[in-house]
Chains A and B, each alone.
Chain A
Amino acid sequence: MKAKILAICFAIPFFCLLIWTLSLAWHQHHGTEIKVSIAGYDPRDLLSGHYIQYEIDWDHTDCTQFPQTICPFQDFCKEARWGRQCRFYIPEKYAEQLDALFRKRNNEDMKFEVVYSYHPNKQAIAKQLLINGKDWRERFL
């Protein structure tokens, strides 16, 4: 009896994590793909550790992608602190190059965008980082 109760107690966190992961994966694959323009996050660096910190540049984002052509600010980076910065994880070895590229984006006329999987009133999930419309990896690999 005790062994069964214990097994149930241990199974709960396992299945909670599994359901959470599956729901995130479902949202990622079944949401509407939208593209948002990004800008560096001030005052901290764009790169912090091995993830990119950015904020969405709503002034340069096409709001016609969303229902009723209104940009839903509140559905993006809901839990972000220090303002509204979001995260995109990248391998650490490309951090410096990507940071340098991002800093001179205005001089070289480059556009940085993030592709999100979006469900209305749900937290949007970042899928892909684009540089001039192409996956960022194409530039480095």
Chain B
Amino acid sequence: MAANWDTLGAITKITGAFILLGGLFYTTWWCVVQQKKGLSELFAILSFLMIGATIGLIGQVFNLEGGWKSFAMAWALLGLPFVIISRSLFFNMGWICLFCSSLKFVQLEILLDTLWEDLPNATLCVIGLCLLSYAGNKLDQAVHSRTMLPKSFEKLTLWTTYLCIWLIGLHWGCWRWSDRSLLIALLANLLVFTFFALRMFLAIKTQNISSFRRNAIALEVYIFVLFASAFGNLFLSGVGFILAGGVILAMIYVFRRTARYIKTMEVFK
């Protein structure tokens, strides 16, 4: 970008960027002080993006060769005030992802390798993620009125836990697909079922019917996948393909019945 506007000169480009940056910061500040919620949200996000753009522009003007990690770290730290004032869950989650991408020890590859290679370590990973999510929840209760960062952290770790549980279930639990021993598959399924049972127990405790419904349906989907995996590659054949259609219809019927049943459950009255 900086190089393509070569005729403008470095000083003009940098000055222009700083004027825009200052203008956005001031507008954000004004919107927050005047309690214009929607606008302050919009300008906080724009200011945050502008910080990243300005860092990129400076890097190009001065021909800096820094990699992603230093760029992400600088962007995340300088943009933190705008994230703190924002009430947007997804913006906060985006910031957490950006910050984590700048840390050397947080790597998705390591997590996936762990899930793929070793069931005991994968179980420890899930427990660790659950604990992090719990910590996020507790922190959120303390500072919810001030910032959404702990809540976003809680949601992000919880979603990652669900993803890990699904990966463990598919990789270790479906023994016909993965060629694992039956014992390993049983242990993996025990982990998956325990996790969903705990989530549903928590949903009953907090009277969160939608969470209970989501978990019940996710568990049903998993049971269907487990059932399908027992037939090996049958669903890839011609007859199996038609059969799969029937199974999907049966699944939809069961989901609807489940949702109806959950509504009438005593524990949610």
Contact = CB atoms under 8 A, between A and B. Distances in A.
B54 interface: yes
Interface residues of A, number: 37
Interface residues of B, number: 33
A50 B3 contact: yes
Contacts of A86: 63, 65
Given A79-B65, A89-B3, 13 more contacts: A3-B33, A6-B29, A9-B81, A13-B78, A13-B81, A14-B21, A14-B25, A18-B18, A24-B64, A86-B63, A89-B2, A89-B60, A93-B4
B70 A79 contact: yes
A81 B68 CA distance: 10
Contacts, number: 87
Interface in B51-95: 51, 54-55, 58, 60-67, 70, 78-79, 81-82, 84-85
A125 B58 CA distance: 12
B3 A13 contact: no
Which DSSP category, helix, strand, loop or mixed, fits chain A's interface?
Answer: helix
Contact of B58 (A14, A21, A92): A21
Top 7 closest pairs, chain A to chain B, by CB: A13-B78, A126-B63, A89-B3, A9-B81, A79-B66, A87-B65, A80-B65
Nearest to B1: A50
Interface of A: 2-3, 6-7, 9-14, 16-18, 20-21, 24-25, 28, 50-51, 77-81, 85-93, 125-127
B14 A21 contact: yes
Given A92-B4, A126-B63, A13 B51 contact: yes
B86 to A, nearest CB: 13
13 contacts: A6-B85, A12-B81, A13-B25, A13-B51, A13-B79, A21-B18, A25-B62, A50-B3, A51-B63, A77-B65, A87-B65, A126-B63, A127-B63
A125 B63 contact: yes
